[in-house]
Amino acid sequence: MFMGVNSRERFLAAARCEDVDRAPIWIMRQAGRYLPEYRALRAKSSFRDMVRTPELAAEVTLQPMRRFGLDAAIVFSDILVVPEAMGLAYTLNEGEGIRMDFALEGARQVEALVSDESVVRERLAYVGEALRLARAELGQDRALLGFAGSPWTLACYMCEGAGARGGDFSRAKRMYYESPALFSLLMEKLSDVVATHLALQIEAGADAVQIFDSWAASCTGAHYGEMSLNWISRIISRLPPEVPVIVFAKGMAASHADSLAATGAQVLGVDWTCNLADLAERLPADLAVQGNLDPLLLEGEPAVVRREARALIKSMRGRKGHIVNLGHGIRPTARIDAVEALVQAVAEA
Ligand code: 1CP
């Protein structure tokens, strides 16, 4: 049974910094490995097949919604579907993590990447289908989110040819410093495709979209605009203005809050490194914030989760526009009873 009555309005009101009865909550990476029902499905299919099969992706999207009184669902997919649609595929291997088919380098490979809108729409249509199926089962009362990686974060994976365990993402930075024209061409293509992908998800029923700049902190502060933010701004300018965009720039929210606000995002996703209330105070009053509990808490005692959630909410009382979330994705070792305690503490606040 779905419990939330006005979760969708609550979520959208918070994203617009309007009055709410309580702060809405969702959890980054809420559809995933900490759930036994996810692991049961995953035992039968590869990750990529699950992502590409709308019925399976919709099912995984709904799994956390059946268990917990969350206000928003996020479509089960991955940021790496974008490079895949452009011609650079990925695999997820047990024990090894993410592998890209090749590491992007040189003009020929960048030029060969597909960014044609009609081709991209066709190749990513399965994500729209997953959203439509998820909406049909979720109903109209709870929010449904789409997402994409930022061009910078995607370039990190594409240039490295692997995930975080494969290296330190220095190759994307090297391209920025040493081949600026090539870097710009790659970012223009990525911005086009990410904008198309987010538009497609909005057309399929997403109430809001989140842009994950998960590797923001590997940028230098002085060049963060050119490396990442300008491309995010370009994407946001191409989306319908009435749909809230959440920008989550891990590790950069505090130091670059003003320039993140200037991207046109309606919501700033905040990692756990900063004091959320202090940060919110120095932001424009019409910019909502999302975050920022330590994901580690959910691996521990429910009583501690409850205490920390209450403290966070109390610190934000009086500040319109707070969406409760973690400061990064939930970890595979999170406890179900800790997640329940978090959702309950928010509901009672
Ligand atoms: O079964 C498995 O082992 C798969 C694990 C898994 C899952 C559940 C991966 C592989 N991706 C996902 C789903 C996913 N990825 C979602 C689903 C919706 C949700 O519940 O939130 C989302 C939003 C993502 C986004 C994503 N993928 C990000 C940005 C978020 C973040 O954590 O910073 C990144 C960096 C990725 C790449 C990726 N995909 C998967 C892994 C293990 C990784 C990280 C790879 C690495 O850098 O080593």
Q: Report the predicted TM-score, pTM, of the whole model to 2 decimal places.
A: 0.96
Inform me whether the pLDDT recorded for 307 exceeds 60. Answer: yes
| Mutational test site, ligand 1, from 37, 53, 76, 78, max ligand atoms within 8 Å of CB | 78
User: Residues 36-67: pLDDT tens digits?
Assistant: 999 999 999 999 999 999 999 999 999 999 99
d(CA 295, CA 334): 8
Q: What percent of the chain has pLDDT over 90?
A: 94
Q: Phi and psi (nearest 5°) for 267?
A: -130, 135
DSSP 25-58: B--TT-SSTTSHHHHHHHTTS-HHHHHH-HHHHH
Region 75-83: mean pLDDT is: 98
Could you tell me the distance, in angstroms and rounded to a whole number, from the CA of residue 78 to the centre of ligand 1?
6
| Mutational test site, ligand 1, from 25, 29, 50, 228, max ligand atoms within 8 Å of CB | 29
**DSSP 8-state assignment for residue 88:** -
d(CA 139, CA 142): 7
Sign of torsion, CA 19 27 294 291? negative
Query: Across the chain, what does the average pLDDT equal?
Result: 96
Could you tell me the distance, in angstroms and rounded to a whole number, from the CA of residue 79 to the centre of ligand 1?
7
- Does 214 sit in the ligand 1 pocket, CB within 6 Å? yes
Region 138-145: mean pLDDT is: 97
In the chain, which residue ranges form alpha helices assigned H by DSSP? 7-15, 36-42, 47-52, 54-67, 81-86, 106-112, 117-123, 125-138, 151-160, 170-178, 180-203, 224, 230-237, 257-261, 276-281, 302-316, 336-348
Residue 172 in tokens: 């994307």
Could you tell me the distance, in angstroms and rounded to a whole number, from the CA of residue 75 to the centre of ligand 1?
12
User: Residues 146-158: pLDDT tens digits?
Assistant: 999 999 999 999 9
Q: Closest Cα partner for 171 from 186, 187, 185, 157?
A: 157
Place 96 in a pLDDT band, splitting at 50, 70 and 90.
confident
- Report the DSSP beta bridge partners of residue 326: 293
Could you tell me the distance, in angstroms and rounded to a whole number, from the CA of residue 236 to the centre of ligand 1?
22
User: Residues 315-347: pLDDT tens digits?
Assistant: 999 999 999 999 999 999 999 999 999 999 999
Judge whether 99 counts as a catalytic residue.
no
pLDDT of 1 reads 38
d(CA 258, CA 262): 6
Q: Closest Cα partner for 312 from 300, 298, 294?
A: 294
CB atoms within 10 A of CB 53: 16
Judge whether 78 counts as a catalytic residue.
yes
Inform me whether the pLDDT recorded for 4 exceeds 50. Answer: no
Say if CB 98 and CB 92 are below 8 A apart: yes
Q: Which amino acid is at 322?
A: H
d(CA 57, CA 2): 19
Region 277-284: mean pLDDT is: 96
Region 160-177: mean pLDDT is: 89
Say if CB 60 and CB 38 are below 8 A apart: yes
pLDDT of 5 reads 54
Contacting residues for 276 by C-beta, under 8 A, at least 6 apart: 270, 289, 291, 292, 312, 315, 316, 322
Q: Which atom of ligand 1 is nearest to the CA of 50?
A: 1
Q: What is the CATH number of domain 7-348?
A: 3.20.20.210
Helix (H) or strand (E) segment spanning residue 321: none
Q: Is the peptide bond before 292 cis (omega within 30 degrees of 0)?
A: yes
pLDDT of 306 reads 98
Contacting residues for 62 by C-beta, under 8 A, at least 6 apart: 73, 134, 137, 138
Residue 295 in tokens: 């994901």
d(CA 22, CA 19): 9
Q: Which atom of ligand 1 is nearest to the CA of 38?
A: 1
Q: Which atom of ligand 1 is nearest to the CA of 39?
A: 1
- Does 205 sit in the ligand 1 pocket, CB within 6 Å? no
Q: Phi and psi (nearest 5°) for 292?
A: -145, 45
Region 114-121: mean pLDDT is: 98
Q: Which atom of ligand 1 is nearest to the CA of 92?
A: 10
- Does 165 sit in the ligand 1 pocket, CB within 6 Å? yes
pLDDT of 166 reads 65
Place 73 in a pLDDT band, splitting at 50, 70 and 90.
very high
Domain range list for the chain: 7-348
Could you tell me the distance, in angstroms and rounded to a whole number, from the CA of residue 125 to the centre of ligand 1?
20
Q: What percent of the chain has pLDDT over 70?
A: 98
Say if CB 130 and CB 75 are below 8 A apart: yes
User: Residues 217-242: pLDDT tens digits?
Assistant: 999 999 999 999 999 999 999 999 99
Judge whether 33 counts as a catalytic residue.
yes
pLDDT of 205 reads 97
